[in-house]
C-alpha cells in the first residue's frame, strides 16, 4: 500500500519495458501471486522516493480472513488485474529456441539457447544467445520451464521399422488395423501390441506412436513387453 510517491507497474521483455499501470498515494499494488506464492509476472518500479506499507503473504491472508469487506474488494482487484493483463498484448510466456509456435500470448525467440539463469532466491532473469549471430540478451522472467525431449531419436532405425509422420515407432494395431499400412506386416499372425513392423522387434514407452508420454505409461509398456515376449516364445 503506497503512503507517498508514485509506482509504475511494468512488464519487462526482450523489447524493453511496457507500462501497465501507474499507482499513487493510497493505492494497493498487490497481485494475486501474493496468495499463490508464485513470482509476480510484472514488476513495480519507484522512480522517486516512495513510502509504502509492506504486507507479506501470511499477513494478507490474515487480513482476508478477518475482514470480509476488505477481502471482497481485494479479491475483486486481483481478478480485475489479471483480466487487465489478459486483455493487453501482455506476453505471459516466451519460448526460447523453437520456431514452431503461433499464439498471441506467446513470444517465440527462435534459433536461441538459454546460457545462464540469474537468481537470488528465485529466477529473476535468463541470458540467451542467438546461435547463428552470437548475439546475447537478458530476459527478465519470474520462472523458467524447460520443455525438451519431445522429439524421438529414431532416424537411425532401418526403414523396415515403420514410423509415423513425427518419427514415432508404429506398433501392433497402429499399423495392422490400418489398410494402408497393413502390407508392411509380412506374417499371418497378428502382431503383439508392442511389436513393430519387423516381427519380434518390440518398441515401448515414449518412442512408441500413440502413447502418453509419461513415466507411468512407459513402465506399463515395460510390463506389457513381458507378456508379449511370452506370447512370441510360445508361437515361435
Site string for ligand FAD, 111-150 (x = CB under 6 A): -----------------------------------x-xx-
Residues in the chain: 236
Nearer to ligand FAD, 53 or 147 (CB): 147
Q: Taking CB under 6 A as the rule, does residue 213 contact ligand FAD? A: yes
Residue 45 in contact with residue 8, Cβ under 8 Å? yes
Minimal distance in Å, beta carbon 171 to ligand FAD? 13
Residue/partner pairs of 215-222 with CB below 8 Å, 24 or more apart = 221/194
Query: By CB under 6 A, how many residues form the interface with ligand FAD?
Result: 12
Nearest-CA neighbor of 108 among 96, 121, 126, 122?
Answer: 96
10 or 157, CB closer to ligand FAD?
157
Applying CB under 6 A, among 56, 215, 226, 234 the residue interacting with ligand FAD is 215
Q: Does 214 bind ligand FAD (CB under 6 A)?
A: yes
Q: Which of residues 156-185 bind ligand FAD (CB under 6 A)?
A: 156
Residue nearest to ligand FAD (CB): 205
Asked if 182 and 190 touch (Cβ cutoff 8 Å), the reply is no
Q: Which three cell numbers stand for residue 217?
A: 505409461
Q: Are 154 and 165 in contact (CB under 8 A)?
A: no
Minimum separation from the CB atom of position 158 to ligand FAD (A): 12
- Integer Cα distance of 104 and 66 in angstroms: 40
One residue of 18, 206, 220, 232 binding ligand FAD per CB under 6 A: 206
CA 216-218-219 angle, to 5 degrees, is: 65
Residue with cell 499501470: 21
Q: Is 122 helix (H, G, I), strand (E, B) or coil?
A: coil
CB of residue 146 to ligand FAD, shortest distance in Å? 6
Among 26, 100, 153, 159, contact with ligand FAD (rule: CB under 6 A)? 153
Q: In the structure grid, which three cell numbers stand for residue 201, read together? A: 522387434
Applying CB under 6 A, the residues found at the interface with ligand FAD are: 146, 148-149, 153, 156, 205-206, 213-216, 218
Amino acid at each position: 500500500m503506497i503512503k507517498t510517491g508514485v509506482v509504475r507497474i511494468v512488464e519487462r521483455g526482450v523489447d524493453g519495458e511496457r507500462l501497465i499501470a501507474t499507482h499513487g498515494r493510497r493505492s494497493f499494488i498487490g497481485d494475486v501471486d501474493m496468495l499463490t506464492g508464485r513470482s509476480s509476472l510484472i514488476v513495480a518500479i519507484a522512480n522517486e522516493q516512495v513510502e509504502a506499507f509492506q504486507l507479506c503473504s501470511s499477513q494478507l491472508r490474515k487480513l482476508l480472513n478477518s475482514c470480509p469487506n476488505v477481502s471482497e474488494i481485494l479479491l475483486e482487484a486481483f481478478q480485475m488485474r489479471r483480466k487487465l493483463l489478459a486483455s493487453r498484448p501482455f506476453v505471459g510466456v516466451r519460448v526460447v529456441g523453437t520456431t514452431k509456435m503461433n499464439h498471441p500470448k506467446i513470444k517465440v525467440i527462435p534459433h536461441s539457447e538459454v546460457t545462464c539463469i540469474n537468481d537470488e532466491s528465485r529466477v529473476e532473469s535468463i541470458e540467451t544467445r542467438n546461435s547463428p549471430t552470437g548475439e546475447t540478451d537478458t530476459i527478465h522472467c519470474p520462472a523458467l520451464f524447460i520443455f525438451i525431449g519431445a522429439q524421438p531419436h529414431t532416424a537411425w532405425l532401418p526403414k523396415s521399422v515403420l514410423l509415423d509422420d513425427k518419427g514415432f515407432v508404429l506398433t501392433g494395431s497402429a499399423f495392422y488395423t490400418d489398410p494402408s499400412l497393413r502390407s508392411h506386416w509380412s506374417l499371418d499372425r497378428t502382431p503383439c501390441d508392442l511389436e513393430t513392423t519387423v516381427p519380434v522387434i518390440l518398441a515401448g514407452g515414449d518412442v512408441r506412436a500413440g502413447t502418453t508420454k509419461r513415466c507411468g505409461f512407459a513402465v506399463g509398456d515395460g510390463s506389457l513387453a513381458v507378456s508379449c515376449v511370452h506370447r512370441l516364445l510360445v508361437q515361435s
